[in-house]
Structure 1
Amino acid sequence: MPPVSIFLNILWLLLGGLWMAFAWVVAAVIMAITIIGLPWARAAFNIAVYTLLPFGQKAVRRDSLTGQSDIGTGPLGFIGNLIWLLLAGWWLALAHLVTAVVLAVTIIGIPFAWAHVKLAGIALWPIGKAIVPA
């Protein structure tokens, strides 16, 4: 990871990244406890790690990465994302957006606010995403 990404990730942790990663872990644990929610728990844990250190990484669709469709990128992934949206996605996205608004008030917080806005989009539709180096 380049030094700039390391510096930005350290600032990110101090400016809201740590508590949002915790929120993703809470969502993942709740989904895992239900057993039926294990596919969502896996996606939430992956995105919790991404939320912890977002600079130097990006989220992409798995089918565009691998060149072939799978369960998470096909019709079942669509249904899974709809269920996720209703159960946990909307409140995670809302938390990211609130954090983004608070950070956007300051000049130094604008890049971090933009990262939260991107994570809010991922919070709404996480199934079928892969985290790769930027």
Structure 2
Amino acid sequence: MRARDVLLNILWFLLGGEVLFLLYCIGGLLMMITIVGIPFGIEAIKLGSLSLLPFGAAVGNLPGIHGLRFVFNVVWFLVIGWIIALFHFLLSLIFAVTIIGLPFAYEHWKLGFVGAFPFGKIIVH
């Protein structure tokens, strides 16, 4: 990880990254109470790991087409994904007001897309 990414991750953590991480992880653990919610909880915790240290992390798609991923993404989006995406997109607009906030706006934009449809995504730190 580059020194720039380390510095931006520290600032991200101090400016609310830890809150996002805790919210995603608590939500993920609550989803795992039922057997049906386990895949959704895993994806929420994966989003939490991305929201903890987003700078220097790359998001990619898993290869192949998997029908269950599509169904899970539709259910996720209808239940919570659109709220997560809207939240991150609004935060990206707020951060984009200043030049200093542009890197944070980009990371919220990235989190918004992953938060809308997390199944089938892979995060590489």
Query: Do Structure 1 and Structure 2 share a fold, with TM-score over 0.5?
Result: yes
2:89 pairs with 1:78: no
* 1:99 aligned residue (91, 95, 99): 91
Q: Which residue matches 1:24?
A: 24
Alpha-carbon distance in 2 for matches of 1:7, 1:49: 17
Distance in 2 of aligned mates of 1:27 and 1:85? 15
Give the residue type in structure 2 aligned to 1:49: S
Could you state the TM-score of these two structures normalised by the residue count of structure 1?
0.84
CA distance in 2, matches of 1:53, 1:18: 9
TM-score, normalised to structure 2, is: 0.90
Aligned length: 125
Matches for 1:1-134 after TM superposition, within 5 Å: 1-63=1-63, 69=64, 73-133=65-125
Matches of 2:32 and 2:13 in 1, distance apart?
A: 25
Residue identity over aligned pairs, in percent, reads: 39
